[in-house]
Structure 1
Amino acid sequence: MNIKEIVGDYNSFLDTIFELLRKGGFKESELKELPIDHICYRVSTNELYDEKKNQLNQLGELLVETEIGGRMISTYKLTNPIQYKDKSIPLIELPAPKKNRINYDGLEHIEMVINEPFQSFVDNHPIPTDENSKFNWVLHALKKDINPDVECEFIDPRVQHEIRTISVKFHHQSLEEVVKYEIQLLKEKENNQ
């Protein structure tokens, strides 16, 4: 079994993401420089979550499975990172479905690490934010205590379903660094009990 058999055609997904970013005003040179720290695959059922976990266990190491937002999320470090053009993607994030929400199976987002302050990054990328746009900046995650981000959300009917969005989240720390920090916090909490 290989990663494409588990998550599908990541090349087409990433081609679509980068095409949409370029249409949204991102420069090719800039996109080449930004590392992709992980790709996210969502599932519609808990049974499929367990099935994908078992499959991913064959291709990498489970770094952490933790509850976030009322559902479990697993993060895997792949033995052989996903290769896309000149990029290497070492991690895959697998969230369980959220309750009382329509969930779709498939690749949903990537996350990239930036060194620029969030506000100046958004200001330097003036993507339209009106309701009729296919591009939107989503800023609510700026308030997160751990690993805040800004998200560029796209509505693209070529991907899975007409009402489904795909996105790129930009943050300052890689998911692997965040996982290490969260594990450290859990250990400290256990030691203090």
Structure 2
Amino acid sequence: MKHQSETLLTTEWLTFSTKIQSFIKRLGIEQHVFECDHVALRANSTAKADEYRNFFEERGTVISENIINGRPILIIELDEPLSLGGMIIPCVELPYPSQKRYPQEGWEHIEIVIPSNAAECEHFTADVVDIIPNLKNTLKLTDSTNSDIKIKLSSPRGTHERLANPTIALKQKDVCIKLHPHSIKDIIDSELE
């Protein structure tokens, strides 16, 4: 019997990839070469999160299971990385549900590493604009209520993480691109120090 989540890697991945690549182009960052260290799923129920977990555990290994903002978040390193345009994505992030309900379950965002030593969102934003000048206008536009791109700055941190990883989330409709200075594997390694 074919797993119900099988469409995640076929139809749903193709649709999500197309939207993300269009958003990358709109942001003007397609000409830069960055590491896309992971892609995230969203689930509105523990049962759906468990279904996703079982599906991806058959295709990879859980390399981290941490409590962040009061809920478990798994990082699964895939046996066969996903491909998005020219990027190879080695890991899937699977957060278990919180109180927030998502309009749709499935693929939600990618995370791109923009190398920086910044420990705070303000400094990281300045570094990002220096590295990707095209984002300067976009980041200014998001201050406007007229923009369809929403921005959120955050500093999520796991219980044992020692490496600050400020994040800029750029969201358009049902897709999101998050930028952060350190890869998920570096963050996981920092837990072991």
SS of structure 1 residue aligned to 2:31:
helix
Match of 1:119? 126
Amino acid at match of 1:52: Y
Amino acid at match of 2:190: Y
Match of 2:47? 47
1:106 to partner: Cα distance: 1.2
- TM-aligned CA distance change 1:76 to 1:148, over 3 Å: same
- Determine whether 1:175 maps to 2:184: yes
1:143 to partner: Cα distance: 8.1
Match of 1:102? 101
1:110 to partner: Cα distance: 0.3
Question: Which of 7, 10, 13 is the aligned partner of 2:16?
Answer: 13
Amino acid at match of 2:148: K
- TM-aligned CA distance change 1:142 to 1:67, over 3 Å: closer
Runs of 4+, deviation exceeding 4 Å? 142-145
CA contact (8 A) 1:38 1:110 kept: yes
1:27 to partner: Cα distance: 4.2
- TM-aligned CA distance change 1:11 to 1:137, over 3 Å: same
Identity across the alignment (%): 25
User: Structure 1: which 5+ residue stretches go unaligned?
Assistant: 156-164, 186-193
- Separation in structure 2 between the aligned mates of residue 168 and residue 110 of structure 1, nearest angstrom: 5
Match of 1:79? 79
- Separation in structure 1 between the aligned mates of residue 155 and residue 129 of structure 2, nearest angstrom: 12
1:120 to partner: Cα distance: 3.7
Amino acid at match of 2:169: E
Q: Which residues of 2 match residues 15-164 of structure 1 at below 5 A? A: 15-24=18-27, 26-30=28-32, 33-99=33-99, 101-103=100-102, 104-115=104-115, 117-122=124-129, 124=133, 125=135, 126-127=137-138, 128-129=141-142, 130-139=144-153, 141-142=154-155, 146-155=164-173
- Separation in structure 2 between the aligned mates of residue 59 and residue 23 of structure 1, nearest angstrom: 32
User: Structure 2: which 5+ residue stretches go unaligned?
Assistant: 117-123, 158-162
SS of structure 2 residue aligned to 1:179:
helix
1:54 to partner: Cα distance: 1.2
Post-superposition Cα deviations, 1:87-136, rounded to whole Å, max 9, x if no partner, equal: 2100000001112x213311111000112553142472121112231113
The total of aligned residue pairs comes to: 170
CA contact (8 A) 2:21 2:85 kept: no
- TM-aligned CA distance change 1:95 to 1:143, over 3 Å: closer
- TM-aligned CA distance change 1:79 to 1:111, over 3 Å: same
